[in-house]
Copies of this chain bind each other. A is one copy, B any other.
Amino acid sequence: MNNTSKLKQALHDIIFEAETPAGRAFDIALIVCILLSILVITLESVEEIGMQYGKILYGIEWVFTIIFSIEYCLRIWTVTKKRTYALSFFGIVDLLSILPTYLSLFMTGASSLLIIRSLRLIRIFRILKLARFVGEGNNLAMALKSARHKITIFLLTIVTTIIITGTLMYLIEGRENGFTSIPKSVYWAVVTMTTVGYGDIAPQTAVGQTLASLIMILGYAIIAVPTGIVTAELTFHRKKDVSTNVCKNCLKEGHDVDAVFCKYCSAKLD
């Protein structure tokens, strides 16, 4: 193993691993850079700040882009399966997080680049993926996955209720009360049923207010259903933490997974 491949290996460990002190420091530095670059994007959009400090912020943005570019090149260089990485979800996000600034040299006023830049935030999830969050995240994902049929039925019921209510309210309230079209009425029904309640459109007639009241109480109470579904799944998966171990000495079960000795007779467990 020559010096280059040693360096390559060391860099790979720092960039892709999180267990070593250097790897951890790298991850934290990267999170700070991502958050700061998001802050810069955000501040640039504020008119007064953009006017006064626009050039400085543009400069800082270039600094972060160069840092992220170096990081991207190192990732490509140190990874074994270069193609797989480049075409993976996080590989594309990594590329997208640096492209907009380079493109801004050729294109002007391309506001769509702004949204691509904000996708940088997703990179934080990659860093978490390395750390101990992976098990917990999997657990959550598994619970949501096994509840997906129930959640689909729930969402379909909600959406059907929203569309039918929206159509009804369009007929009841009519254009003169702000319900100018079915899409707008459906938008109102979403705002109401999810208990957001902007108040930019609100029913004015007695019949409309009565129907709205029913929808509100329904929307308020029905949240219990997805909550119940997700909770039942999570409780089910959480419960598995009780070991199925039976004590060989007293034949009692119900031991915790971390138990070393039987809690009833002090015999050693397997």
> Could you say which residues of chain B place their CB within 8 Å of the CB of A55?
none
Complex CA gap A139/B154 in Å reads 13
Q: Is the interface of A mostly helix, strand, loop or mixed?
A: helix
> Could you say which residues of chain B place their CB within 8 Å of the CB of A264?
258-261
> Could you say which residues of chain B place their CB within 8 Å of the CB of A266?
260-262, 266-268
> Could you say which residues of chain B place their CB within 8 Å of the CB of A13?
none
A142: interface (CB < 8 Å) = no
A57: interface (CB < 8 Å) = no
Question: Does A238 lie within 8 Å of B236, measured CB to CB?
Answer: yes
User: With A153-B128, A225-B230, A229-B224 as given contacts, are A182 and B46 in contact (CB-CB < 8 Å)?
Assistant: yes
State how many copies of this chain the complex holds: 4
> Could you say which residues of chain B place their CB within 8 Å of the CB of A213?
186-187, 190-191
Partner of A153, one of B136, B158, B187: B136
| Nearest Cβ on chain B to A232's Cβ, whole angstroms | 4
Complex CA gap A225/B256 in Å reads 23
User: With A128-B153, A183-B45, A223-B224 as given contacts, are A217 and B198 in contact (CB-CB < 8 Å)?
Assistant: no
Question: Does A124 lie within 8 Å of B216, measured CB to CB?
Answer: no
Partner of A163, one of B38, B125, B149, B231: B38
Complex CA gap A47/B176 in Å reads 13
Question: Does B195 lie within 8 Å of A183, measured CB to CB?
Answer: no
Partner of A199, one of B124, B200, B265: B200
Question: Does B195 lie within 8 Å of A195, measured CB to CB?
Answer: yes
